[in-house]
Structure 1
Amino acid sequence: MLKTIFLTALTLAIAIGGGAASVWLVVERDFEFGTVTIGNWTAYPKRGTPAADPYSKARFSREADLALGYAEGLVFTATRDASGALLRRECDYRVEGSLPPARFWTLSARDADGGFIAPDDSIPALHSYALLRQSDNTVATTVSRNPVPGNWLAVDGSGAFALVLTLYDTAVASSARIADVELPQVLREGCDG
């Protein structure tokens, strides 16, 4: 009798503990079903929508994020450069290339919690209305702790960060051919120390 109670309790403990651990692991990971990856940029088109998977909905609810709807836009995130190395604030990066058509877009640098990492006296994000374009209508922006001429996105501190490119009012968000879109490359130019 005692052996049966012990085995039942052990089975329940493993089942409940294993289930809770697996849910925690999936919710903590930066993975969602329906992820679109273009170069080193990643987007979750279904995030915050009724079509999202249950784990994405749980993560979205926990983070209390405000997602864009299908018709409103799409958010792309890059945590690695073109060579596959993690983005670090100690390094200088050049973001260059073409962008898909959008009524408005922003480019910002964020920390692991989603906060801006710009110095207090600088603008936390670049946007499409205040950006110098090259003659072929592509963009070239430097992401660095040190000021540079031209388009400059300032970062502050040290450690890893993510670049967040948000396209507002773009046909890309509702397109079935989202994987065919061209996005700019993130190229590392050098590092401080």
Structure 2
Amino acid sequence: MFATIRLILVTLVGVLLGLASAWWAVGNIRFDEGSSIGQWSLLDDGAKANPYEAVRVARRGGGGLGPSEGVELITEVDADGKPLEASCAYLIAGPMPQGVLWTLTISDRDGHLPDNPARRFGFTSLDAMTFGPSRQVRISIGREVRPGDFVATTGLSSLRLTLRLYSPTLATRAPGRDQLPSVTLLGCDEGKPS
């Protein structure tokens, strides 16, 4: 009798540990096989066959971009390599590839969008302000409103930035580090009562 109960407990613990480790692995972008461009992770065709990425895409309700459509870049770290935190403010600044339609979406790691009164979840190449001859962007994100292009991160417990570049030529030749914006920390502990 004791051996049967022990077998059931060991099996139950094994199943729970297996499910927990699978849940953790699906939420961890370190298992991507894609290459990196600075702080951005680029998903190439090999990474699209990655079972972890397939589950991540299904979890957030996306379909990903096909090779003839463009590329998708994701970051969960700032320019210094530190994890992005929802309680902090960041500046996304720098160039975007020229002649390319793009979208930048702010979400949490599970794909949930911020809950903000403006109903703004990101910017596109059609509505973001650009500066200078290289058409650089300056988009700030955080819990406290900032001037210029801004997305409130209210309601997010984690932070992920997804940059989609729509151009068939980018699928064969990815943009260089100097063609992508960087994400820098502006400050933390926003929106907490003092």
TM-score by length of 2: 0.73
TM superposition shift of 1:101: 3.1
CA contact (8 A) 1:76 1:165 kept: yes
Residue 32 of structure 2 is matched in structure 1 by: 32
The structure-2 alpha-carbon separation of the partners of 1:27 and 1:162, relative to structure 1 and needing over 3 Å to count, comes to closer
Are the aligned partners of 1:107 and 1:165 in contact in 2 as well (CA < 8 Å)? yes
Instruction: Please report the RMSD computed on the Cα atoms of aligned residues, expressed in angstroms.
Output: 2.9
Distance in 1 (CA, whole Å) between partners of 2:130 and 2:93 is 10
What runs of 5+ residues in structure 1 fail to find an aligned partner?
Answer: 1-12
Q: 1:96 aligns with which of 69, 93, 96?
A: 93
Question: CA–CA distance in 2 between the matches of 1:140 and 1:28?
Answer: 28
| 2:65 aligned residue | 68
CA contact (8 A) 1:102 1:171 kept: no
Equivalent residues in 2 for 1:177-188, closer than 5 Å:
178=174, 180-181=176-177, 182-188=179-185
- The count of aligned residue pairs is 170
Contact conserved, 1:96 with 1:140, CA < 8 A, in 2? yes
* Closer, same or farther: CA 89–57 of 1 in aligned 2, 3 Å: closer
Counterpart selection for 2:105 from 105, 108, 112 = 108
Question: Corresponding residue for 1:161?
Answer: 159
| Offset from partner CA, 1:22-56 (integer Å, 9 cap, x none) | x94765642232x121111112122786xx25x35
Specify whether residues 150 and 67 from structure 1 end up closer, same or farther in structure 2 by C-alpha distance, changes over 3 A only.
Answer: same
Residue 118 (structure 1) shift: 4.2
SS of 1:59 mapped into structure 2 = helix
Deviation at 1:169, TM superposition (A): 2.3
**Deviation (angstroms), 1:108:** 1.4
Runs of 4+ in 1 over 6 A off after TM superposition: none
For residue 83 of structure 1, give the secondary structure of its aligned residue in structure 2: coil
Q: Which residue of 2 aligns with 1:42?
A: 41
Counterpart of 1:135 in structure 2: which amino acid? G
One-letter identity of the residue aligned with 2:142: S
1:79 aligns with one of 52, 76, 79: 76
Unaligned stretches of 5+ residues in structure 2: 1-10
Structure number, greater radius of gyration: 1
| Aligned equivalent of 2:141, options 130, 140, 143 | 143
Q: After TM superposition, give the deviation of residue 126 of structure 1 in Å.
A: 0.8
